[in-house]
């Protein structure tokens, strides 16, 4: 009887290597598409966050007939560090009830200084809570951080010398009110291109005060990754020029911070920014105009070159902003300073520009 058994033939080593190579090529081709899809989803979520913030600001305006200032101003509060007693709650603190964070808002005494001992952690844990609407999913870093060094340095840059204990845990924010254009101006005083969410003593601003039109004027911008310090080239390093000596921290991945006007926590009254322009090379250096010895030029990049109190995101080629009517728009990176001033100023009389 003939033998009818058949022997299966296995893969040779060469065939196996070819199959593995084909699979690797397919994965390499597929991975960028997967990453792009994920980033598209993160970018959409970022826009949704900003939409919520825009609607919250409009609801605040509907209640009080004015937009909030970048931070509130209170009577001198003896329970706050000397020099900080008049800095009231941040703009993001006062809109918490309109972001479905009413319970969190109730834990904060907004009639006192933002840095009142009754408001600061660990006595009060409210500031330590991450708020999802204030976090861009494309940005690096944890949702809350030890903010002591950043907060101390922020006020020191404002000319207020304070020393805060370590361990003040604050919830981060990748968004900030933009109080306006302050290019080539010594220090941080905004005297040109004032925006809707303005820096005291300017404001508060009414709808009627936005004569350039709500749909043409920026309220809130992305300033992502703070208080870590980034440029378009990646993590920034301390510049060895002028008198600029930011505190050295380990906020995210060893990034050295902070932004000169502070920021990086939603409860920080100095979380807001003023657009000064930054180094177009993407080094991360910003805040020209003589600030702490930094030269005034060539800080010509209006967005996407530094998160050092500038408009910046981790999205490819663009950053998102909220306009005064609550709409969200994407701005291409590297816009000219004159273009950005047109978008920031609430009553500059400029013609609308293309984004």
Per the domain annotation, does 293 fall within a domain?
yes
Structure confidence at residue 349 as a pLDDT band (50, 70, 90): confident
Residue 71 gets which letter from DSSP? E
Per the domain annotation, does 251 fall within a domain?
yes
Tell me the HSE value of 312 on the side-chain side, using a 13 A CA sphere: 39
CA-CA-CA-CA torsion for 167, 131, 287, 85, nearest 10 degrees?
A: -60
Pairing of strands 175-181, 273-275: parallel
CA 68 to chain centre: 18
Segment 73-131, tens digit of pLDDT = 999 999 999 999 999 999 999 999 999 999 999 999 999 999 999 999 999 999 999 99
pTM: 0.85
Structure confidence at residue 136 as a pLDDT band (50, 70, 90): very high
Residue listed under structure tokens 């319970």: 103
Per the domain annotation, does 140 fall within a domain?
yes
Domain count, the chain: 1
Per the domain annotation, does 234 fall within a domain?
yes
Residue listed under structure tokens 């991975």: 31
Q: Is the pLDDT of residue 133 over 80?
A: yes
Pick from 143, 13, 56, 67: nearest CA to 346: 67
Q: How far apart are CA 9 and CA 187, in angstroms?
A: 78
What pLDDT does 121 receive? 94
Per the domain annotation, does 201 fall within a domain?
yes
What pLDDT does 127 receive? 97
Structure confidence at residue 207 as a pLDDT band (50, 70, 90): very high
What pLDDT does 303 receive? 94
Ramachandran quadrant class, 254 (left: phi over 0; alpha: psi -120 to 50; beta: rest): left
Segment 245-296, tens digit of pLDDT = 555 555 554 455 555 566 789 999 999 998 888 888 888 888 665 666 666 6
Pick from 75, 219, 229, 76: nearest CA to 141: 229
Per the domain annotation, does 210 fall within a domain?
yes
Structural domain span for residue 156: 133-344
Per the domain annotation, does 113 fall within a domain?
no
Segment 146-204, tens digit of pLDDT = 898 888 878 887 788 888 888 899 999 999 999 998 765 443 345 457 899 999 998 89
Per the domain annotation, does 10 fall within a domain?
no
Segment 37-54, tens digit of pLDDT = 677 789 999 999 999 999
What φ, ψ does residue 155 adopt, rounded to 5°? -70, -35
């Amino acid at each position: 009887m003939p033998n009818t058994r058949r022997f299966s033939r296995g893969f040779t080593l060469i065939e196996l290597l070819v199959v593995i190579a084909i699979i690797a090529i397919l994965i390499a081709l597929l991975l960028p598409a997967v990453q792009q899809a994920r980033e598209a989803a993160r970018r959409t979520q970022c826009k949704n966050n900003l939409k919520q913030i825009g609607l919250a600001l409009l609801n605040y305006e509907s209640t009080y007939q004015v937009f909030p200032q970048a931070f509130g101003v209170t009577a001198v509060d003896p329970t706050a560090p000397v020099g900080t007693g008049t800095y009231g709650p941040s703009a993001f603190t006062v809109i918490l009830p309109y972001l479905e964070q009413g319970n969190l808002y109730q834990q904060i005494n907004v009639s006192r200084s933002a840095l009142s001992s009754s408001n600061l952690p660990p006595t009060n844990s409210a500031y330590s809570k991450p708020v999802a609407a204030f976090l861009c999913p494309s940005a690096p870093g944890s949702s809350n951080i030890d903010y002591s060094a950043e907060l101390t340095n922020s006020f020191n840059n404002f000319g207020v010398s304070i020393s805060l204990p370590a361990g003040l845990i604050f919830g981060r924010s990748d968004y900030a009110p933009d109080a306006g254009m302050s290019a080539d101006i010594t220090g941080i005083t905004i005297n040109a291109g004032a925006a809707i969410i303005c820096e005291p003593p300017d404001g508060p601003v009414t709808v009627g005060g936005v004569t350039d039109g709500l749909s043409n004027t920026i309220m809130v911008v992305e300033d992502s990754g703070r208080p870590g310090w980034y440029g378009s080239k990646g993590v920034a390093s301390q510049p060895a020029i002028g008198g600029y000596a930011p505190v050295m921290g380990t906020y995210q991945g060893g990034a050295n911070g902070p932004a000169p006007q502070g920021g990086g926590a939603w409860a920080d009254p100095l979380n807001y920014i003023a657009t000064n322009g930054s180094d177009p090379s993407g080094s991360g250096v910003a805040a020209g105009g003589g600030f702490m010895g930094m030269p005034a030029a060539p800080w010509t990049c209006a967005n996407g070159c530094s998160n050092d109190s500038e408009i910046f995101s981790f999205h490819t080629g663009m950053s998102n902003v909220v306009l005064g009517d609550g709409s969200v728009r994407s701005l291409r990176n590297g816009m000219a300073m004159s273009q950005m001033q047109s978008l920031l100023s609430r009553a500059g009389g400029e013609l609308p520009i293309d984004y």
